[in-house]
Amino acid sequence: MGEKVRRKIAGIAVIALAAGILHGSSAAAEAADVHVIPIDPVLTEDPDALLDLYRAGTVRAQLADPTASARCGAAAPGPVPDGEDIVVKLSPAAPFTVGKINPTTWRRPPVADPTWRMGYEGLMWMRPLARRAAMDGQTKSLDALVDQVVSFHAKNPDPKSNSYGWDEGTALRRLETENCLYALTGSEKLRKPIFNDVNVLLGFRYYGPPYAPVHNHGLMANLQIIRAGDHLHRADWTKRASDRLVAEAPLAFSKRGVIWEQASQYQVVNADLWDQAARTLAESPGTGAAVTSIRRSVANARTAFTWMTEPDGKIVQIGDSEKIDGEAANPSRAPRTFRDDQTGWIIGRWSWTDPKTSYYTIRYGPSRRAHGHHDRAGGVTYTAKGVRVLVGPGKYNYDRKNNFYAYQISAQSHNVPIPAKGKAGNGASTVSGSVAQAAAHAWTIKNTVYGTGRAHSRNVNVNRDASRMTVTDKFPKAQLWRQYWHLDPQWRRVSGVKNGKTLVFAHPSGRKLRITTTGAVSGFVKGITRPPAGWHYPSFGNRVQAYEIVIRSTAPTLTTTFTVS
């Protein structure tokens, strides 16, 4: 590391000491035996973590912590003293030492899970260590981290394909780390690694037009390329990434402000990131019209996100979504129903201030994509009297080889009907009728999600005063079909048997749920593992048992009613 860089780090340490945040004397600091690095929340698109990484630090934050503007995320809790081995533990793999990593693990990582591999090969585990080392003025430790980045690129060069950590997602995460390290050190050793990863994101592996639809990964890639261009004075990078942002912004949201990624959590992720894109573009001449348009879209997106916020203040879990905080609406301006035919969302509620109001969602619309699930055959969620009743599965992981992921995106894990031997596909799904009254809303969804030979219609009627949802399904050309229903994990069965027509459940709040059907109850299970059935995923990697109820048809029309008391 050059003398200029050492002076930069020393300056950070001096300012940090004056600000009272330096973590003790580096000479006296004792390194932890192993730095246990948890899964980075950026990997699961946690909105707060992404903002920490993509939002420029405020003047106040910079004064409180000079490393804030490096956008490295949170610092490691333990010191990273100069001259000592930096030993890292990324569970469930064995610990490894920076500078001594077996290069074969870049191409054959010890863990198969794709999220783990992205964090490992994306060098995301370096960011907390780098920030802590910079805060403590440990220049040699920063040297070691920079050298490990250089070693990765030397011993695992770009194969010009998506293999070995050279897909767009992993290259993006690596560029985030390299930008963090460059902001902390200014090391010229990082120039070639940054060039390599920018090259991936400017080429055919880019997750965006013309290679793929607009997606949050492409948006993040452009923001990181602009930052890299600023670091290395590459105006060509900055211009190309800025031009892509301007061109793609009109394609990011529907007219109502809903993203095309079909997941409620990604609604706020995209709104936040496009807000940062507008702030970034505002610094470039000639982008005024684009910035104004983006800010208008972001405002619409935030309004749509308030609709995706349940009465309990958390979001409704649609698509790959965790049960995160939502956003309150302005009750004086918000109506009672929201409908977006472009993206396939219906949302209804009767109050924006009463936590016990009824709330529901219905899914239809375009083919499944991005973070969406097979819920387009009129998949519903329902909340009444302050408790969630019918829920979506949530987000467990992104491992396509994992059975719990397969369950996560399947029609079976949603509140939809499935015909015998039916498989959800890309058939059309539209609203064919609707009625909105003061105390009740009714919607009819017609679709060919299961194929043209299994055309289906679903009528959903929600009654505010009765705290009741009634769902009627018809498959004119199918002799047998089943409705799948998924209760919030807090419900406990009180009564009801297989082949019956009534089930009763109790909630810890004291509420009761009565389910009646014109069909017959085939079963009610929870916590089955092979194959998965009866699970809910409130957060990434976390699964809890929850009732999955299956009701079979016994006549051409099947109606099931949910009443909360």
Please count the structural domains in the chain: 2
In three-state secondary structure terms, 292 is helix
248 belongs to a structural domain: no
**How sure is the predictor about 17, in pLDDT bands with cuts at 50, 70 and 90?**
very low
Residues 349, 477, single domain; the answer is: yes
pLDDT tops 50 at residue 390: yes
The DSSP letter of residue 413 is: G
Residue at 55 is within a domain: yes
Residues 454, 478: Cα–Cα separation, whole Å: 6
For 112-138, write each residue's pLDDT tens digit. 999 999 999 999 999 999 999 999 999
Its domain, for residue 461, covers 317-564
- List the single range of 63-67, 380-384, 510-514 with lowest mean pLDDT: 63-67
Q: Let me know whether 50 and 166 are in one domain.
A: yes
* pLDDT on residue 60: 62
Same domain, 192 and 340: no
| The pLDDT of residue 270 | 97
Please tell me the least confidently modeled range out of 323-332, 448-457, 556-565: 323-332
Cis upstream peptide for 159 (omega within 30°)? no
User: Both tokens of residue 324?
Assistant: 């995160």
Does 417 fall in a domain? yes
Q: Is the same domain home to 211 and 326?
A: no
Q: Could you read off the pLDDT of 460-482 as tens digits, one per residue?
A: 999 999 999 999 999 998 889 99
- Per-residue pLDDT, averaged over 515-524, amounts to 98
Question: Which of these three, 157, 183, 216, is where a domain ends?
Answer: 216
| Position 9 confidence tier, pLDDT thresholds 50, 70, 90 | low
**Higher pLDDT among residues 180 and 22, named by residue:** 180
User: Which DSSP string do the residues of 456-510 spell out, in sequence order?
Assistant: EEEEEEEETTTTEEEEEEE-TT-S-EEEEEEB-TT-EEEE--TT-SEEEEE-TTS
* pLDDT for the residue numbered 33: 80
pLDDT at 332 over 70: no
Mean pLDDT of 553-565: 96
- Would you say residue 153 lies in a domain? yes
- Say if 303 falls within a structural domain: no
Note whether 324 and 212 are same-domain residues.
Answer: no
Model pLDDT, residue 286: 87
Chain segment 255-297, per-residue pLDDT in tens: 999 999 999 999 999 999 999 999 999 998 889 999 999 999 9
For residues 140 and 8, state if they share a domain.
Answer: yes
**Residue 255, in any domain of the structure:** no
Residue 25: what pLDDT?
Answer: 35
Query: Is 80 exceeded by the pLDDT of residue 32?
Result: no
> Does residue 167 sit within a domain?
yes
State the average pLDDT over residues 499-515. Answer: 98
Res 62: pLDDT: 59
pLDDT band at 57 (very low <50, low <70, confident <90, very high): low
pTM score, whole prediction: 0.92
Question: Is 416 buried (19+), middle (13-18) or exposed (0-12) by CB count in 10 A?
Answer: buried
Cβ neighbors of 134 (< 8 A, separation 6 or more) are 9, 12, 13, 67, 70, 142, 184, 185
In the chain, % of residues over pLDDT 70: 92
Residue 11 has a pLDDT of 53
CA–CA distance from 247 to each of 204, 228, 312, 427, 502 (Å)?
Answer: 17, 20, 38, 30, 54
- Give the up-direction half-sphere exposure of residue 323: CA atoms within 13 A in the CB hemisphere: 18
Handedness of CA 538, 340, 334, 388 (dihedral sign): negative
**Tens digits of per-residue pLDDT, 420-445?**
989 999 999 999 999 999 999 999 99
E strand spans, 283-394 = 337-340, 345-349, 359-363, 380-384, 387-390
241: in domain: no
Identify the band that residue 27 occupies on the pLDDT scale cut at 50, 70 and 90.
Answer: very low
Residue range 18-27: average pLDDT? 41
| The pLDDT of residue 165 | 98
Residue 58 has pLDDT above 50, yes or no: yes
pLDDT digits (tens, 9 = 90+) for 201-241: 999 999 999 999 999 999 999 999 999 999 999 999 999 99
pLDDT value at position 370? 94
% of residues, the chain, pLDDT over 90: 88
Is the pLDDT higher at 537 or at 336?
A: 537
Final residue of a structural domain among 154, 181, 216: 216
Is 158 found in the same domain as 21?
yes
**CATH number for the domain including 390?**
2.70.98.70
102-112 confidence digits (pLDDT tens): 999 999 999 99
pLDDT of res. 191: 98
Q: Among the three residues 216, 250, 275, which one is the final residue of a domain in this structure?
A: 216
Is 353 in the same domain as 207? no
Average pLDDT over residues 383-392: 98
The residue among 454 and 11 whose pLDDT is bigger is 454
Q: 328 and 188 in one domain?
A: no
Q: How confident is the model at residue 24 (pLDDT cuts 50, 70, 90)?
A: very low
What Rg value do the Cα atoms of the chain yield, rounded?
Answer: 26
